[in-house]
Amino acid sequence: MAGENNNQAVRSYQKQFKELLQAVYQKQAYFSEFFGGGLEALDGVTHNKTAFSIKTSDIPVVIGTEYNKDANVGFGTGTGKSSRFGERQEIIYTDTDVPYTWEWTYHEGIDRHTVNNDFQATIADRSELQAQAKVQKFDNKGGLFISQNADQAMTLADLSSDAVLKLFNDLNEAYTNMEAIGTKMAWVKPALYNAIVDHPITTTAKRSGANVDTNNILQFKDFAIKKVPETKFQDGEYAYTSIVGVGKQFTGINTARTIESEDFDGVAFQGAGKAGEFILPANKKAVIKVTDGAAGE
């Protein structure tokens, strides 16, 4: 595949790079569950600002208190002027354009005299490494997006058992009261993760899903728990919680190609694209971040 480029000025790898990005994203993106478990990727997109459009309605569902049986409602003097169902509300959906918000690129060179490897194998290796690098960037951007769009913040005073238990009780109460539907998940820093694993209530006798020997926990206080590196969080943050799948992360691939170089005996390996994240305004209330209470003192 890639070796054929020895006799071609340009060879496109957009489709292959798209598939690589999506495969790597599913395996390595820490916040993939927040964005529905996958990266929405398009290859061969034109240079524009809009990723896609969705239809939304800001009109809430209205539930009447009772069916009006008054003789002059819908009948009598109210004929043609009223309804026993109450006031009629018109439902109108609006088109919302979702824009790209950031860009990515790569630009490498493969010289036939110095690469010391098969062209096809080199392109495959570099494509894989570039996909991994881009997914890491997607993940960092995703963490920042979650932080910026959290509807509220709860503080964790310290990592004591009492403080951790109070935090998750408060979180559980918040999601119950908002009547959130779906799997609740918490992405947590390693220090908080360890505090949860070591917590007195995480015992096998209570079927908590904890394994202290392997330092592993899957569930705590009705939240799926995922350990995430500290670098994925913003300063002063311990965790993010949300309902799984409330957001979307996407990218458009403008270019993924090799092109014969005039400057050396080989090809330039180039790529460029646009990316972004999106969450419906109504879904933001299902996103809560946990901050370090001590840091604010």
Helix (H) or strand (E) run with residue 148 in it = helix 119-149
Q: Which is it for the CA torsion 125, 131, 134, 138, positive or negative?
A: negative
pTM comes to 0.84
Half-sphere exposure of 162 (CA within 13 A, CB side): 1
Q: Is 143 helix (H, G, I), strand (E, B) or coil?
A: helix
pLDDT tens sequence for the chain (297 residues): 444 444 557 899 999 999 999 999 999 999 999 999 899 999 988 768 889 888 876 666 666 657 788 998 888 898 888 887 877 888 888 888 999 999 999 999 999 999 999 988 999 999 999 999 999 999 999 999 999 999 999 999 999 999 999 999 999 999 999 988 899 999 999 999 999 988 888 765 454 555 555 555 588 989 999 999 999 999 999 999 999 999 999 999 999 999 999 999 999 999 999 999 999 998 999 999 999 987 654
Which tokens hold the place of 230?
Answer: 């500290």
CB count in 10 Å sphere of residue 128: 14
Helix (H) or strand (E) run with residue 238 in it = strand 237-243
